[in-house]
């Protein structure tokens, strides 16, 4: 369990560093990230890697087998879900205006619980 706690501590450290380097992150984008991380952690899924997006967004990726080709980008009002395949990319949006629920389809995209 300590490895899991260490993984989540690293996620929070990385997020703080990203926000510290780019003050243009809006509260809505930061809240969207917080909401998604809470969902992932509270459902016992693996901690993601977090990186800055091209816009003031956050990109989440995972190293687990079923999610190796998954990236979720956090915007102010939505999550953009990317699945990368050989020669094609599937992209779709999950609305998230803040505090709202998420679709079953979105939750099914996340890596499986440990």
Chain segment 8-65, per-residue pLDDT in tens: 999 999 999 999 999 899 999 999 999 999 999 999 999 999 999 999 999 999 999 9
Please give the sequence-ordered ranges of beta strands (E in DSSP) within 1-114, or none if there are none.
Answer: 49-52, 58-61, 70-74, 78-85, 88-95
Distance CA 17, CA 5 (A): 18
**Closest to 67 (Cα-Cα) out of 11, 101, 111, 102:** 111
Domain boundaries, the chain: 2-109
Q: Angle formed by the axes of helices 27-42 and 2-21, to 10°?
A: 170
- At residue 2, the pLDDT reads 41
Distance, CA of 106 to chain centre: 11
This prediction has a pTM of 0.92
Give the model's confidence band at 85: pLDDT under 50 very low, under 70 low, under 90 confident, else very high.
very high
């Amino acid at each position: 369990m300590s490895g899991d706690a260490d993984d989540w501590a690293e996620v929070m450290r990385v997020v703080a560093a990203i926000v510290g380097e780019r003050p243009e992150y809006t509260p809505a984008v930061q809240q969207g990230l917080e909401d998604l991380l809470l969902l992932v952690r509270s459902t016992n899924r693996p901690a993601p890697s977090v990186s800055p997006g091209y816009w003031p967004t956050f990109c989440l990726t995972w190293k687990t087998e079923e999610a190796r080709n998954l990236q979720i980008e956090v915007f102010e009002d939505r999550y953009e879900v990317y699945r990368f395949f050989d020669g094609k990319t599937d992209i779709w949006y999950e609305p998230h205006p803040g505090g709202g629920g998420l679709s079953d389809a979105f939750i099914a995209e996340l890596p499986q619980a440990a």
